[in-house]
Structure formats: C-alpha cells, structure tokens
Amino acid sequence: MVKYDSFLYGNGLTISVLLKIKEKSDSKLKRYLDCDNFIFDFINAEPHKRILRNFLKYFQINKETEKHHIEAREYLKANYSEISKLGFERWVSKHIFDKNGNKDIKLYVYILYNYWYHIINEEILQNAKINELKHKIGAYILQYTNDKNAIFTTNFDNILDDSLVPKHLHGSFRLPLDKIENVILEHYNEKEFEYRYLFGSNGLEKLSRINKIRQLNQCIFDLEFFYDDSINLGSLLIYGLAFGRSEIMSEAFLEQYPEHKDNKLVKTVDGHIILKLLSKYQKKKLYKITIAYYSESDRVNYIDLFENTELPEIIEYKKCEGIFNWEDALR
C-alpha cells in the first residue's frame, strides 16, 4: 500500500461517496444525492410542494421578495440545461460573477445550494446505517495517509468530516440552515458581505477573496494551506479536484487574447491552488504529486493546466480506481 504525506480532495470524492450512499439508502429523497435532481424538482415545484414551502420559510414574503423569488426561479429554469451540463458549482462560477451576470441572484443561489445540502443531511446522511458507511469509507482513506493533520478539501460538505477531519480551504455549508444570515460570514458594509463558503469564477477572484477573509476573525475557512510556509506537503495525493477551466475565459477569449493561455491563476477556477503547489515545490515543501484521474480527458486537462510550470517533473497520474477501491472499503 502506497501512503501519502498529505491529501487534498475535491467534489469528485464527494460524488463517489454519494453514489455509494445512494446504493445503501432507503430514503424517498435519495435521488437528491444528485444535486441536478434537486435543482430540477425545485424549479418545477408547485407552490404546495414541501421542497418549495420549506425554502420560502427563509424569507419574509412580501410583494417585493415574492417577485425576486419568482424571477430567480425562472432564471434557474431557463438555465437548467446548462446547469445540468456544467454542474451547479461551475454554472454559478460562470454566470453569477460575470460582470454582465444577474447580481440579484447571488445570495439566492448561496442559500439554495446550502438548502440542498441541508435537506440531504437531515433526511439521509444522519441515518445510522449511512453513518456507519461513511465511517468505513473514512477509515479506509485514512490508511493511505501518513499525517492526519495534513488533509485538505475544497469541498463545502462535511460528509467525511467525522473521520478525516479535513481543513476546509473554501469554507463550508451551515448545518442546520436556520435562516438566511447563516450563509453570511461577515458584513463589510450595508450592501457588501462575505459568504461562509466560496463560489468563484477563477483562481484570481478566489485568492482575492481569501486574502480579505484572512483579515476577518473567523473559523470557517482553514487558510493555513495558503499562508503557513512551515506546512510540508511531502508526497501529496490529489483526488477528485478537477481544476476545472474557468468558464469566464472562453476559447474565443483565449484566441483573441493568447497571452492569457498560460495564466494559471485565471485559466482555472482553482488556479490559486496551482500557484501554492508551485510555491511549496520551490521551497522544498513538496517533492511529489499524485493526481487521481477519472477519464483520459481529465488527465489531458491536468497535463495542460500544469504545462509550463516546474511541477510536471514531480507529477504522477493514476486512475481513480488504482488508488481507492470502494468495494474493499465497504467489506
């Protein structure tokens, strides 16, 4: 068994775990373990449906808020095909932070995404049988780690928190979600505030916000990964972190402005993490990276993103199933 000194995981791991949970769950709502199904039901729900009624409890309903709610749902409905294609997080990153995007919907989607996870946490994830399954998966993953204090995630969920106790680089959902204010981390002024988890269009925007969050008195974001030079990642395993292409930088944009093609900070939604890995390597705090890839197209994307840096010489690519075997985990 190969062991790693540090572990960084993203939504790909969550998706794998949710699929295993879905196989074992008896809940009538288990289809919501796929966020796309939840979004579809939400935007098409009739007024009497519980999914919509419970969501509206977060708002003081009057003519103005009712109008905003209807407009927001219609906006999501009009964009559902793209949401389904990109995934909710990538779609939000593409549209909500675009200078021409719908600014009024930003808080709405923050609440909605947290509401989705609140529902599956309440209805499914707290079940005793599911808790046992999560514990088995977490214990299995821990076998591959040398340092339990060097586990990091970009995820907002807490599915494996009880066993892995990861450091949440981008914040986390509020559980339970009781009111709108739960998703707000800090008010900067009457009109501007920071959220307790971090959507973002690209690495530059995320890094800018992380720098601001660092100045706040908060404990939701674990920022040592970015600012503590003493952290030695050693041999790092990256699993389920897509380093997805920033949707704001389209192919047409890159063709028009080719000077940005190698700008890692803005080319990917996690460019700030690539820069930190490069810094760790240069400071001899990282000597090997193993990246788990799901498909050949994923591997090609990784190669492209790390091109023209010093990192390819220490990167090894392995198929996901060549690292974690979930059947072994659940025996």
Q: Dig out the tokens for 177 from the structure.
A: 């979600």
In a domain, 1, yes or no: no
d(CA 261, CA 143): 39
Convert the pLDDT of each residue in 143-168 to its tens digit. Answer: 999 999 999 999 999 999 999 999 99
d(CA 114, CA 281): 35
In a domain, 313, yes or no: yes
Q: Dig out the tokens for 281 from the structure.
A: 């390597």
Question: Sheet of 234-239: strands edge to edge?
Answer: 167-168, 151-153, 6-9, 234-239, 286-293, 315-319
Q: Is the pTM of this model over 0.95?
A: no
Q: Using an 8 Å Cβ cutoff, are 151 and 234 in contact? A: no
Helix (H, G, I), strand (E, B) or coil at 27: coil
Question: What secondary structure letter does DSSP report for 223?
Answer: -
Which of 129, 131, 121, 135 is CA-nearest to residue 29?
121
Convert the pLDDT of each residue in 188-240 to its tens digit. Answer: 887 788 999 998 878 788 899 999 999 999 999 999 999 999 999 999 999 99
Per the structure, the count of domains in the chain is 1
In a domain, 165, yes or no: yes
Return the top range by mean pLDDT from 20-29, 240-249, 262-271: 20-29
> Domain containing 304: what range?
6-329
Cβ-based neighbours of 5, under 8 Å, separated by 6 or more: 145, 146, 147, 150, 232, 233, 234, 235, 236
